[in-house]
């Protein structure tokens, strides 16, 4: 794999499939040394084989707080201090008032929110101490509005947006940059489960291109595609009565 001059070392969680996988390969092509984490060791090995020497597999379940700290330490010992981390591990199960389950909600919260926090703690701690680094947290445009069928998923993504926004001014005091990634519909194993139209859907490779450019430009919010950005932000700006008039049309029994 041809690369440019070494740009630094990046840790990507959720790297075995979807956006995380595509981003790992994109950043490796751009000259980054990529530490790739996910639960599936086999899929990580297949990913590393596509970019030998540039992508290194570090299997991890981000819901395990202790193990996440251990993997972070292992990465820094083997590859050196991290320059950037992209927290992209996530899961999705459709839920809402008709089929709400606290058990299913807990699974999504454990991966999407607590998993991000488990990874964020050691990364933020070391970068703040060194007074350098960049962290990007993958949320979703679903975090802007409560949409039927995406109750818990959207709640976890809204929480990540709030978390990142709250921490950004403090992190900047120590020269650590925080970004939030808010994709629209992207072709991934998660969206493949959807049985409804997904407007403006793009490929994982296109998503990776948007993210790579946003990270390079040090943008706070990396939101794409632009048509979904306009639609979701317009919906968010509407009065509640009008928003509900629109979202009621999305209800399915």
Q: What is the pLDDT of residues 69-85, one digit of tens each?
A: 999 999 999 999 999 99
The domains of the chain, with CATH numbers, are 8-250 (3.40.50.720)
Question: Is 144 designated active site?
Answer: no
pLDDT at 237 over 80: yes
Task: Read off the pLDDT of residues 54-63 as tens digits, 9 standing for 90 and up.
Answer: 999 999 999 9
Q: Which residues pair with 182 in a beta bridge?
A: 223
pTM, full prediction:
0.93
The pLDDT value given to residue 4: 52
Q: Which listed residue (92, 144, 153, 220) is catalytic?
A: 153
According to DSSP, residue 141 is labeled: G
193: Cβ contacts below 8 Å, ≥ 6 apart: 92, 94
According to DSSP, residue 110 is labeled: I
Task: Read off the pLDDT of residues 170-182 as tens digits, 9 standing for 90 and up.
Answer: 999 999 999 999 9
Task: Read off the pLDDT of residues 182-214 as tens digits, 9 standing for 90 and up.
Answer: 999 998 888 877 777 888 899 999 999 999 999
Task: Read off the pLDDT of residues 12-71 as tens digits, 9 standing for 90 and up.
Answer: 999 999 999 999 999 999 999 999 999 999 999 999 999 999 999 999 999 999 999 999
**Residue 216 neighbours by CB distance under 10 Å:** 10
Task: Read off the pLDDT of residues 101-157 as tens digits, 9 standing for 90 and up.
Answer: 999 999 999 999 999 999 999 999 999 999 999 999 999 999 999 999 999 999 999
| Per-residue tokens: 167 | 């921490």
The pLDDT value given to residue 253: 66
**Residue 95 neighbours by CB distance under 10 Å:** 19
Closest C-alpha to 216, from 1, 10, 48: 10
């Amino acid at each position: 794999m041809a690369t440019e001059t070494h740009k630094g070392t990046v840790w990507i969680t959720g790297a075995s499939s979807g956006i995380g996988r595509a981003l790992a390969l994109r950043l490796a092509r751009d000259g980054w040394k990529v530490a790739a984490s996910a639960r599936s060791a086999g899929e990580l090995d297949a990913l590393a084989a596509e970019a030998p020497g540039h992508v290194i597999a570090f299997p991890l379940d981000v819901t395990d707080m202790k193990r996440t700290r251990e993997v972070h330490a292992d990465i820094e010992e083997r590859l050196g201090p991290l320059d950037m981390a992209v927290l992209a591990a996530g899961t999705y199960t459709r839920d809402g008032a008709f089929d709400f389950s606290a058990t299913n909600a807990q699974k999504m919260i454990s991966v999407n929110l607590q998993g991000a926090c488990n990874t964020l703690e050691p990364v933020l701690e070391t970068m703040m101490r060194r007074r350098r680094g960049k962290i990007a947290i993958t949320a979703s445009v679903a975090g802007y509005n409560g949409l039927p069928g995406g109750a818990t998923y959207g709640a976890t993504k809204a929480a990540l947006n709030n978390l990142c926004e709250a921490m950004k001014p403090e992190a900047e005091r120590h020269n650590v940059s925080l970004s939030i990634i808010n994709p629209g519909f992207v072709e991934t194993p998660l969206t493949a489960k959807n049985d409804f139209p997904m407007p403006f859907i793009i490929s994982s490779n296109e998503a990776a291109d948007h993210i790579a450019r946003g990270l390079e430009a040090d943008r706070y919010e990396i939101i794409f595609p632009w048509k979904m950005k306009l639609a979701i932000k317009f919906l968010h700006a509407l009065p509640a009565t009008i928003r509900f008039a629109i979202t009621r049309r999305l209800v399915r029994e």
